[in-house]
Structure 1
């Protein structure tokens, strides 16, 4: 009986996954048709523009740098992606890797993401990896990024994993930026970024320099 129940659950899970993938595909095609009639960028939210003043101070000095490599964990509709493309990855050899599973079956962000980066004229400089970060980051070469921006899943365990994996991917002298350090202060610690970022800062110790700590946390990797 137990084996029959397990087999039935596996079949049901498989059917549900197929249905979710089908629904996501249908919704994405509907959005793609709609976006073809859209003039200009298309966003449904803005969680980035309030950071632009700081980003200009921290990152625009990297502009026109050949072979610059930036990793963005959590891209959603591409608002921060567009900013980096237009202000930092200005050399044609610069590359931006975006990691985001984009799993939503309702209002999936991928069509808007693709639409928005196409409008920058730099889509060829972007690689989108649609996998969970704990899977995708293990496939990337170590010490291969100059800037890493972490704005993925916000539970402490996810932020901790993203930070640990990203440390190995960051070049010495590179910058790592965490978003939402002060996000949702009334939530339990395990549901917030802050606890994980504090643990990471302690773990990295003297191998890093903390450059900024407010709603975002910026550090430089000084040694492996």
Structure 2
């Protein structure tokens, strides 16, 4: 299709994305995002030293992390976040929402990078009998809460549940955010719902960071994150400026979306 999506995706179940899977995703680059992808990868700002600095901080603070997923994006997203914060009035609270927090590693990084600036809202179901029935998930939420106790957010509001249900309630209450990080479900349907609601919850001038863009097949089969992001941008791209494209897509809202 012209927007870079493929309706004839491989409906397979993916448990590990190897080199061939990533290469397949790369061959389906959305033309609307291709220029920014090239700029980001070839000439964009990146800070590799920040990964080691944060890891040292995490070890010293005694955080309990069992994965390093967030570290892959830090060199790219750190300069973006610094620039974003620098453009806001000094000391102003940044209303930040994160969908899919897991153990809180990305939240700890955000707190370290933007200390005492964030009023945080988190949405995550953590353990769920139907979707996350594995024994290991029992320990994730308690570990998340212990990790968050070591952070210095201005506030922390936690919603235990699925974003598909929580986000509409936030919109009904008229909540607004300056910065949103979307890393929830990897199914295209759930991601597209997240993006549509987050687009309305995001203030003009705010930034939305969409994780796992190259996941074109979800872990349970069917279309994945990439299809949702591409379709969302095809419909609403005129209301956003593309800030960066790499493993993530960063969009800055330039105008309200009629609804």
Q: TM-score, normalised by structure 1?
A: 0.75
Instruction: Supply the distance in 2 between the matched residues of 1:135 and 1:72 (Cα, whole angstroms).
Output: 15
Please give the residue correspondences for 1:26-105 in structure 2 after superposition, counting only pairs within 5 Å: 40-61=62-83, 62=85, 65-91=91-117, 94-103=118-127, 104=132
Counterpart in the other structure of 1:156: 188
Counterpart in the other structure of 1:6: none
Counterpart in the other structure of 1:129: 159
Instruction: Supply the distance in 2 between the matched residues of 1:130 and 1:193 (Cα, whole angstroms).
Output: 22
Is the contact made by 1:73 and 1:150 (CA closer than 8 Å) also made in structure 2? Answer: yes
For 2:65, what is the secondary structure of its paired residue?
coil
Instruction: Supply the distance in 2 between the matched residues of 1:191 and 1:185 (Cα, whole angstroms).
Output: 5
Provide closer, same or farther for how the CA distance between residues 156 and 75 of structure 1 changes in structure 2, counting only shifts above 3 A: same
Instruction: Supply the distance in 2 between the matched residues of 1:58 and 1:137 (Cα, whole angstroms).
Output: 25
Please give the residue correspondences for 1:202-217 in structure 2 after superposition, counting only pairs within 5 Å: 202-217=234-249
Q: CA deviation at 1:56?
A: 1.5
Q: Deviations over 1:5-52 (max 9, x none)?
A: xxxxxxxxxxxxxxxxxxxxxxxxxxxxxxxxxx81111111101211
Instruction: Supply the distance in 1 between the matched residues of 2:223 and 2:66 (Cα, whole angstroms).
Output: 24
Greater share of helix: 1
Is the contact made by 1:142 and 1:168 (CA closer than 8 Å) also made in structure 2? Answer: no
Q: Give me the CA root mean square deviation.
A: 2.2
For 2:149, what is the secondary structure of its paired residue?
helix
Instruction: Supply the distance in 2 between the matched residues of 1:161 and 1:89 (Cα, whole angstroms).
Output: 31
Q: CA deviation at 1:204?
A: 0.9
Query: Which residue of 138, 144, 166 maps to 1:113?
Result: 144
Counterpart in the other structure of 1:21: none
Q: CA deviation at 1:207?
A: 1.1
Deviates more, 1:57-66 or 1:211-220: 57-66
Is the contact made by 1:144 and 1:171 (CA closer than 8 Å) also made in structure 2? Answer: yes
Please give the residue correspondences for 1:155-194 in structure 2 after superposition, counting only pairs within 5 Å: 155-183=187-215, 190-194=222-226
Is the contact made by 2:115 and 2:152 (CA closer than 8 Å) also made in structure 1? Answer: no
For 1:175, what is the secondary structure of its paired residue?
strand
Q: CA deviation at 1:187?
A: 7.5
Is the contact made by 1:183 and 1:215 (CA closer than 8 Å) also made in structure 2? Answer: no
Provide closer, same or farther for how the CA distance between residues 120 and 202 of structure 1 changes in structure 2, counting only shifts above 3 A: same
For 1:69, what is the secondary structure of its paired residue?
strand
Q: Which has the higher contact order (CA 8 A, sep 6+)?
A: 2
